[in-house]
A and B are shown apart, each in its own frame.
Chain A
Amino acid sequence: MSLRIIGANLVVSMKTFSREKSVMFFTIAFPIILILVFGTIFLNQDNLSFGLHVQDLDQTNSSAQLVKNLDFNGKIKITTVDPAINAMQYAKDKKVNLVLVIPRGYERALARRLGLVGGIPNAAFRDPNASVTVTYIYDASASSTSTKIEILRAGFALVNQGMSGQAPFIRAAETSMLTKNYRFIEFFVPGIIAMSVMTSSLSGAVNMNAELRQKGVIRKLSTTPITRTDWILSNILYQFILAVISAMAILVVSYAVFSVRLQINAWLFVFIVLEVFAFGGIGMILTRVANEAESATAAANFIMFPMMFLSGSFFPLELMPGFLQTAARILPLYYVNEGLRAAMVSVDHTAALHYCAMIGVFATVVLVVGINTTKWDEGAA
């Protein structure tokens, strides 16, 4: 192993990186764009707000009070619908996925139920069977409709329970597993770091080996004192530098734009190193298996894209069907995602160590196989 040769390779690689706009884009700009786009979406979800169109046919003080209370402390933005128009037609014309119709007689029914006489409750006049039926006019194909209806049902259940005069039997207390109240963006950032390191390591290994081999550059290098060990070490070091640059860029933007609160500790670098080893090793194996640079790149994409979506980089595994959740647990990126989240979000060192061990074993195996399958001479070039 020669430090002089490894240094020379690094200089060439970094110069190529600084002059290759597409590599710069996918290493730095692309993950930043993802952070900005998804971060903005997730930030809005943290302050989730739905729209609800309400047609008050009763037009009384009581019905107006109900409409006012339906905003659930700002969770639902209320739009009132003219009582003179057809609610169904309105929903179709305005492409509204849910209209709640409060019927005429709402206030009268409420007064009977509460036994109000001249606005004063009188138990003798209370009618426990008095009720009112609100109508949901909805578009079942809209994804937010069922959520909105569930929220309304929960709200109406609370009203009904309150009117019964009985104290609720089950009460809920909330205790977060996390020491701080983290937002979804803070869970998202480690996933993007893991995804970014994976793409740069895998694509980088394929490009460095397959393309240069196809062009004959490695054949030329094999007639110089550079050894296979020098070449692989300098490539891995280069991928690690790119991974750190990419991770730093993501973190800087996340802190600057979204004011994220994450723990930056040694685990971050440990997971980046292991991920570079793991995906660099996969890249070396692909390069050996594929005959042409194009097929190696296609194989790398075939591995990367499903893994991005299945391993929980972009959204929680809980949103996926059970069999996909099981499948995700055999993907190396899943362990990097979970490990980084354990280290940076929940600061659970035991969990981080567990995930580190899993990805570490995988990285070791893949890297050893990758190094052994990388041919240097005898026509490998």
Chain B
Amino acid sequence: MTIEPEHAIDVENLTKRYGDLLAVNDISFHVRTGEVFAFLGPNGAGKTTTVEIIETIRTPTSGTVCLLGMDVATRKRDIVPRIGVLPQEFSSFDRITVRETIQYYARLFPRRNTDVNGLIDLANLKDKSHEQFQNLSGGLKQRLGIAIALVNDPEVVFLDEPTTGLDPRARREVWDVLLSLKKNGKTVFLTTHYMEEAELLADTVAIISKGKIIAMGSPDELIESNANYLVLTLKTIHGTLFDIIRRMGFEPVQDNHENIKVRVEHPDDIRKILNAMKDAGASSLSLDVRKPNLEAVFLKLTGEALREGPVKEVPR
């Protein structure tokens, strides 16, 4: 019986420089075996550099990275057969079909009897199995990339921005595949700049900005510790409501759709506002109470919004 190590990935004081550019600045973190770990950050934050060092593609300037208990700097040959990688902007041989591509990558690994049909089913590519790569849409290419990342039944799967550039429908289709990986207990290292993706899929989220990890924890923990408030949204035709709320000591804001948004620290505050509305004879057309999401956490921590990519993080 083999005992799985607690950590699939251990990163200690990792630094990577490209000349004068400090791409990754002394970061440390651990990824538990069997969890989905999301690396969240804007373009150029150091996500891809970090993940490529862990994948053994790049060498660190300093620090140590252990993957499945092995040093990535010296054990590449032993590590590679045990990991699966979907690189950023995945591409393959244009004239080769979906099935042939999976068969090709399967033959690169020592493992035999790869279930090609099972992978095609997992990626929901059965109807496209005889289609050449060049004829696939962006979403289909990404799903094929995920299937290829699994040809060797890897213990750790790296997915570098798997949904960047996809339309919402294609993104959800990729998420379905990722959720099935999570269900199967794979350790997944996911880099993304989509908050919703990280919140939906990740057990642990690390937020990286300018080469430093600035926060790490479960999505709930991050929200709890960095954005512990509620947002009340009201739609009303009562013109004085805005002033009533302000007089109560809150700081309401009005958006382009005439919605009044109020940030409240405690659920009791909501009751107070609703009572004040009732006393003033004002009624609301709609009412919504929400907890903030990771985006609010990110905005608070970095002061910048995430942007659509992809942009190369480092010069070649």
| A interface residue numbers (CB < 8 A to B) | 4-5, 7-8, 11-12, 15-16, 19-20, 212, 215-217, 219-226, 291, 377-379, 381
Chain B residues with Cβ below 8 Å from A215 are 91
Taking a contact as CB atoms under 8 Å apart, the answer to whether B108 and A5 are in contact is: yes
Taking a contact as CB atoms under 8 Å apart, the answer to whether A222 and B57 are in contact is: yes
Taking a contact as CB atoms under 8 Å apart, the answer to whether A223 and B80 are in contact is: yes
Choose from A5, A7, A220, A291 the contact partner of B87 (Cβ within 8 Å).
Answer: A220
- Which residue of chain B lies nearest to A381 when distances are taken between CB atoms in the complex? B57
Q: How far is the CB of A208 from chain B (nearest CB, A)?
A: 10
Choose from A8, A19, A377 the contact partner of B95 (Cβ within 8 Å).
Answer: A19
**Could you list 30 A-B pairs, sorted by A, with CB under 8 Å?**
A5-B107, A8-B104, A11-B104, A12-B100, A15-B95, A15-B96, A16-B94, A16-B95, A19-B132, A20-B95, A216-B87, A216-B88, A216-B89, A216-B90, A217-B91, A219-B57, A219-B87, A220-B85, A220-B91, A220-B92, A222-B57, A223-B55, A223-B83, A223-B85, A225-B81, A225-B109, A377-B56, A377-B58, A379-B52, A379-B57
- Which residue of chain B lies nearest to A230 when distances are taken between CB atoms in the complex? B108
Q: CA of A19 to CA of B132 in the docked complex: distance in angstroms? A: 10
Chain A residues with Cβ below 8 Å from B108 are 5, 8, 221, 224-226
DSSP majority for the A interface? helix
Choose from B87, B132, B314, B316 the contact partner of A223 (Cβ within 8 Å).
Answer: B87
Chain B residues with Cβ below 8 Å from A378 are 57-59
Looking at A8, A12, A15, which has the most chain B CB atoms within 10 Å of its CB?
Answer: A12
Q: How far is the CB of B107 from chain A (nearest CB, A)?
A: 4
- Which residue of chain B lies nearest to A7 when distances are taken between CB atoms in the complex? B107
Q: Is B281 an interface residue (CB 8 A)?
A: no
Q: Is B29 an interface residue (CB 8 A)?
A: no
Q: How far is the CB of A238 from chain B (nearest CB, A)?
A: 13
- Interface residues of B, CB < 8 Å — how many? 33
| A216-B89, A381-B57 given; A225·B80 CB < 8 A | yes
Taking a contact as CB atoms under 8 Å apart, the answer to whether A224 and B109 are in contact is: yes
- Which residue of chain B lies nearest to A216 when distances are taken between CB atoms in the complex? B91
Q: How far is the CB of A241 from chain B (nearest CB, A)?
A: 17
- Which residue of chain B lies nearest to A219 when distances are taken between CB atoms in the complex? B87
Q: How far is the CB of B145 from chain A (nearest CB, A)?
A: 8
| B interface residue numbers (CB < 8 A to A) | 52, 55-59, 77, 80-81, 83, 85, 87-96, 100, 104-105, 107-110, 132, 148, 158, 314, 316
Chain B residues with Cβ below 8 Å from A222 are 57
- Which residue of chain B lies nearest to A20 when distances are taken between CB atoms in the complex? B95
Chain B residues with Cβ below 8 Å from A19 are 95, 132
Chain A residues with Cβ below 8 Å from B109 are 224-225
Chain A residues with Cβ below 8 Å from B158 are 223
| A16-B96, A379-B316 given; A224·B56 CB < 8 A | no
Closest 4 CB pairs of A and B: A8-B107, A223-B85, A19-B95, A215-B91
Q: CA of A16 to CA of B89 in the docked complex: distance in angstroms? A: 21
Q: How far is the CB of B13 from chain A (nearest CB, A)?
A: 20
Q: CA of A4 to CA of B316 in the docked complex: distance in angstroms? A: 32
Q: How far is the CB of B141 from chain A (nearest CB, A)?
A: 11
Known: A7-B107, A379-B314. 5 other contacts (CB 8 A): A12-B96, A215-B91, A216-B87, A224-B80, A226-B108
Q: How far is the CB of A20 from chain B (nearest CB, A)?
A: 6
Chain B residues with Cβ below 8 Å from A20 are 95
Choose from B57, B58, B93 the contact partner of A217 (Cβ within 8 Å).
Answer: B93
Q: CA of A225 to CA of B85 in the docked complex: distance in angstroms? A: 12
- Which residue of chain B lies nearest to A226 when distances are taken between CB atoms in the complex? B108
Q: CA of A377 to CA of B85 in the docked complex: distance in angstroms? A: 14
Chain A residues with Cβ below 8 Å from B105 are 224
Q: How far is the CB of A308 from chain B (nearest CB, A)?
A: 28
Q: How far is the CB of B159 from chain A (nearest CB, A)?
A: 12
Chain A residues with Cβ below 8 Å from B59 are 378
Q: How far is the CB of B103 from chain A (nearest CB, A)?
A: 8
Chain A residues with Cβ below 8 Å from B81 are 225
Chain A residues with Cβ below 8 Å from B314 are 379
Q: CA of A219 to CA of B316 in the docked complex: distance in angstroms? A: 12
Chain A residues with Cβ below 8 Å from B316 are 291, 379
Q: CA of A5 to CA of B105 in the docked complex: distance in angstroms? A: 9
- Which residue of chain B lies nearest to A213 when distances are taken between CB atoms in the complex? B316
Q: How far is the CB of A110 from chain B (nearest CB, A)?
A: 76
Chain B residues with Cβ below 8 Å from A7 are 107
Q: How far is the CB of A222 from chain B (nearest CB, A)?
A: 6
Chain A residues with Cβ below 8 Å from B110 are 225
Q: How far is the CB of B146 from chain A (nearest CB, A)?
A: 12
Q: CA of A221 to CA of B92 in the docked complex: distance in angstroms? A: 10
Q: How far is the CB of A291 from chain B (nearest CB, A)?
A: 7
Chain B residues with Cβ below 8 Å from A379 are 52, 57-58, 314, 316
- Which residue of chain B lies nearest to A15 when distances are taken between CB atoms in the complex? B96
Chain A residues with Cβ below 8 Å from B94 are 16
Chain B residues with Cβ below 8 Å from A219 are 57, 87
Q: How far is the CB of A223 from chain B (nearest CB, A)?
A: 4
Q: How far is the CB of A17 from chain B (nearest CB, A)?
A: 9
Taking a contact as CB atoms under 8 Å apart, the answer to whether B87 and A15 are in contact is: no
- Which residue of chain A lies nearest to B94 when distances are taken between CB atoms in the complex? A16
Q: How far is the CB of B125 from chain A (nearest CB, A)?
A: 17
Q: CA of A7 to CA of B93 in the docked complex: distance in angstroms? A: 16
Chain A residues with Cβ below 8 Å from B89 are 216
Taking a contact as CB atoms under 8 Å apart, the answer to whether A15 and B91 are in contact is: no
Chain A residues with Cβ below 8 Å from B148 are 220
Q: CA of A5 to CA of B80 in the docked complex: distance in angstroms? A: 15
Q: How far is the CB of A225 from chain B (nearest CB, A)?
A: 5
Q: CA of A265 to CA of B220 in the docked complex: distance in angstroms? A: 75
Q: CA of A216 to CA of B59 in the docked complex: distance in angstroms? A: 18
Q: How far is the CB of B65 from chain A (nearest CB, A)?
A: 14
Chain B residues with Cβ below 8 Å from A226 are 108
Taking a contact as CB atoms under 8 Å apart, the answer to whether B58 and A16 are in contact is: no
Taking a contact as CB atoms under 8 Å apart, the answer to whether A377 and B57 are in contact is: yes
Q: CA of A7 to CA of B107 in the docked complex: distance in angstroms? A: 9
Q: How far is the CB of A6 from chain B (nearest CB, A)?
A: 10
Taking a contact as CB atoms under 8 Å apart, the answer to whether A12 and B104 are in contact is: yes
